[in-house]
Amino acid sequence: MSRYLVNKFLYTVDRHPDLVERYREDPRGTVAWWEAEEANRLLNCVSQERSTWLAFADDEREALATHDYPRLFELGAHPFLTLTLFIALFERDHEQPLGFQLEYAQRLSGYSLPYPDITT
Amino acid sequence: MAEIAAVIASTHHPFYYKASTSTGAERPPFADVWQTKIEAFRETLTVAEPDVLLLVGSDHFHQFWLDNMPQFLVGHAEQYDANWYNEEREFGLPRMHMQGDRDLSGHILRGGLDTGFDLAFSNELRLDHSVTCPIITLRPQNDLPVVPVYTNIFAPPLPQPKRFVQLGQALRDLVESWPSDKRVAIIGTGHLSLELGGPRQFGPHGPDPEFDAKAVEWIRTGDIERCLGEVTIENLLEPGNATQGFMDFMLMMGVAGEGVTADYFDNLDLFHTMEAYFTWYPGGDPRPAVAAAAAALPEQAAAVAAQEV
C-alpha cells in the first residue's frame, strides 16, 4: 500500500496545468512516466537528491491509469485531492453547473460510513 | 498593549467571489441574498476599526505537503502572495498580495513557544483561500497588514479538538500582551458539516443539517464545554468527511472565550454547506456609538446649513 504516493501523484499533477492536460488525454502513459521519473523526486530538493523506494501497488497504478476515482476513494486517496484534480479533468465535459460534482457523488453512493481510512 | 478590536469566525466559501461578481444569466439565484448578508457581516469588522488582522485558516495542500506537514504554523514574512493556480482554475479566485506584520508574527511565535505551543513558522508563505476568502468578504479593499496562522485540519493525524481551543485561548492572550497600540482583529475560518470527494457532496444543503444547527449554537453561545464534550477527531467525520475543518471554529471559540455569546450572528443555508458568520467585541460593541454618530450627521449638517443662511 502506498497511499502517500497516490496522493503525491494527485498533488503534483493537480498543481501543474500541462500535467492536468496530459493526464486527461493519456492517463496510462502519464502514470507510467510519472512513476518512472517523478515518484521518487523529493519535492523540496534539487533533482540529484531522490528517494529510492517509492512505487505504486498494482491496484493503485491501475486505478490512476483508468481515471477510476471511486476506486481511489476506496483505496484511501485523499478525497480533496482526488476531487480537485478530477474536477479539473472532467467538469468541462458537463453542461449543467455542478454536473460533474453530482455525478461524482452518485458514483460514490455505494459507500457509507465509516469511509476508507485516509491516514498516511 | 494591543487591543482586540473584534473576534470573527466565519465559514469560508471559495465560490463567493465568483457568485458575487457575476452578472446577468451567469449570476446564481442565491447571489443577491448571499451578498447582502456578507455586506452586513463586513460592517461588523469595519466598525471595529482594526489596524492589523490575525487570520486563522488551513492550507489546502498548496504550500504544505505530506512530506513535511506542520500542525500549527505562523506566517513570519514581510509580505504574502496569495491564491494558487488550482484555486484560480476551480473558483475563479484572483491572485492577491498582502502586507505582513513581522512584529506581531514574532511576538506570537516567541510567546507561543514559551507557553507550550511549539509553533512552526514560514518566512515565505503563499496563502490560500482559507485566508483570502475572509479578506474578500470582510475587507475587500485589502488595506491592512496580516499575520496568518495555519492549522492542520486536513492531513491526519490531526491535533485533538481541545488543542485547537487551547491555541485560540493562547492567541488571544498573546495578542493582548503584544506591546503595541494597535487594534487587532482576530478572524478565523472553518467549516460546518462538509463533504468533499465523497457520496454526500454538493447536495442541496450541508450534509448534516442537525450537526450544523447544534454547532452554530455552540459557537453563538460560546459553549466550549458542551462542544468539547461531544466532538472528537473521529466523530467529526460523521457529519461529513471534511467536517474536521470545524476545529478552526473551535479555535475561534477559544479566542472568544467560554460562555461568551456572539454580538453578531447570521447564517445562510446554501447548496453543499451552510454559511455561518459570528462577531464578538471583547472591548465592547462599537455599533451603538457608530449608529448614533451616523444619526447625528444629518442634524449637524442641518445646523451648519442654518448657520450659513
Provide the residue ranges of all domains of chain A, joining segments of one domain with +.
3-107
Given a cut of 70, whether residue B203 has pLDDT beyond it is: yes
Q: Three-class SS string for chain B? A: CCEEEEEEEEECCCCHHHHHHCCHHHCCCCHHHHHHHHHHHHHHHHCCCCCEEEEEECCCCCCCCCCCCCCEEEECCCEEEECCHHHHHHHCCCCEEEEECHHHHHHHHHHHHHCCCCCEEECCCCECHHHHHHHHHHCCCCCCCEEEEEECCCCCCCCCHHHHHHHHHHHHHHHHCCCCCCEEEEEEEECCCCCCCCCCCCCCCCCCHHHHHHHHHHHHHCCHHHHHHHCCCCHHHCCCCCHHHHHHHHHHHHHHCCCCCCCEEEEEECCCCEEEEEEECCCCCCHHHHHHHHHHHHHHHHHHHHHHC
Residue with cell 462577531: B279
Is this complex's ipTM strictly greater than 0.90? Answer: yes
A105/B202 CB distance under 8 A: yes
How confident is residue B289, by pLDDT bands cut at 50, 70 and 90?
very high
**B247 to chain A, closest Cα gap in Å:** 17
pLDDT of B309 reads 60
- Number of neighbours of residue B287 by Cβ within 10 angstroms: 16
Set of chain A residues whose Cβ sits within 8 Å of the Cβ of B200:
105
pLDDT of B307 reads 75
CA A55 – CA A31 distance, rounded (Å): 11
CATH class of B3-308: alpha beta
Which residue in B186, B167, B134, B161 sits closest to B246, CA to CA?
B161
Given a cut of 80, whether residue A50 has pLDDT beyond it is: yes
C-alpha cell at B25: 444569466
Which of B65, B203, B242 lies at the smallest CB-CB distance from A43? B65
Instruction: Tell whether A54 is within 8 A of chain B (Cβ).
Output: no
Given a cut of 70, whether residue A73 has pLDDT beyond it is: yes
- Probe site for chain B from A84, A98, A119 (most B CB atoms < 10 A): A84
The 10s digit of each residue's pLDDT in B235-256 is: 999 999 999 999 999 999 999 9
